[in-house]
Every structure is written in C-alpha cells, then in structure tokens.
Amino acid sequence: MNRLPHHLPAIATLAAVVALTASTAYWSLQLFKPQQRQIAVVPVQETPPPPVDAALGLFGGQATVATASTYELRGVVAARDGRGSVAIIATSGDTPKAYPVGKDVAPGVTVQDVQPRYVTLLDGGVQKRLDLLPDAGVSSTTAAPLPPVSRAAPPPPAPMPAPQPSVSPLVTPPPGTPVGEAGQPAPIHTAPVQRHVTQ
C-alpha cells in the first residue's frame, strides 16, 4: 500500500486557510471600499510663445516698454548706487519738478527707476519708460575719456636751456668766507687733519 507522507494533510490545510483568507480579504475590500470620485480634467491651456522683444535686452537691444505721453523727462541726476537719484519731469507741459525714486508724480504714478538716459514710471502696475529729450544733453561728473594711446616711438626730449649766471648773489655770505666769481662755485679750503698724540 502506498502510504502518503504524514505531514501532507497539514500542508493542504495550511494552503486552504491561506486561499480562504486571501479570498475573504479581496471580496470584503470590493464590497466595503468607498465610491471613487470622478476626477475633473483640467483643460490644458497653450502658453503663447514669448515675445521676441523680451529677449532684446539680453543682446544689447532695447526692450519695448509702454511710454508715458503726458510726461516729459527734462533732466536726470543719476547716482551710481541708485539711492538719491532724481528725475526732473514736466507733467502736461507744466513747470518741471524734481522727483526722487519712490515719489508720486501724479496719483497712482510713481518714479520706479532713474537711469542716466531714461526713467521708469510705475503707472497703476504698468511700467512706462520716459526717455531723455535729445536736446537736453548729458552732464557727467566722471572724467573725460583719455585720448587714444599712440604706439609710435616717443618724441626726443627737448634740449634743456643752459643755466643763466646770477647777477647778484641771493645770500650774502658771512664775513671771512671765501667767495668766487658770480655764478661760479666758491673755492673750498680744508684745514689739515690734526692728530692727537698721547704719551
């Protein structure tokens, strides 16, 4: 007679318990899980391509900024560090007035930035650029540019004029001092060296 191993029924019972537990867990999760909510699909909006004018500032060009037509920039006092800069602006043809950075030119219009050639105004959140009038001129406190350096050989030095003899001495020597002719060095007399002999 074939005898089955005696632990085979224990293995079969264990497999049946695991299968029953897995099946019970699966079906209880299916019956008691919460209802899945619908996910609203957000429509994807295409972003417009960036304007080419925005990149002009990267390569030395001028970005276009809205210009303020009711204001005229008559002058600028631009400090190197930006603090203390003042814009001289005429509003609607009135007398020009000085406006420091942060001051209101008109209600809702503020001086935002002062540069040597232009001023940026903030008008209700919109930047407006005022350029300096072409005939206003620019004054600068910095030194003028140096002339170009010449690579040619330097010119020979100019000859030195011969010294002119003095007509009258500037200093009157004390009495007993030997004096030479005018414009000539005085003769030098030295005394003989004296030696002390000690005995």
| Residue whose C-alpha is closest to residue 173's, from 156, 160, 186, 183 | 186
Query: d(Cα 64, Cα 66) in Å, to the nearest integer?
Result: 7
What global pTM score does this model have? 0.36
Q: Average the pLDDT over 167-185 and give the result.
A: 62
- Each residue of 17-48: pLDDT tens digit? 999 999 999 999 888 887 778 888 888 777 77
Task: Output the DSSP codes for 42-53.
Answer: PPPPPPPPPPGG
Query: What is the Cα–Cα distance from 104 to 123, expressed in whole angstroms?
Result: 10
Give the tens place of pLDDT for each residue, 5-21. 778 889 999 999 999 99
Kindly state the average pLDDT of the residues 43-64. 67
Q: Decide if pLDDT at 50 tops 50.
A: yes
Q: Which amino acid type is present at position 35? A: Q
Domains of the chain: 60-135 (2.30.30.830)
**For the segment 96-137, what is each residue's pLDDT rounded down to a tens digit?**
889 988 898 888 889 888 888 888 888 888 888 888 877 645
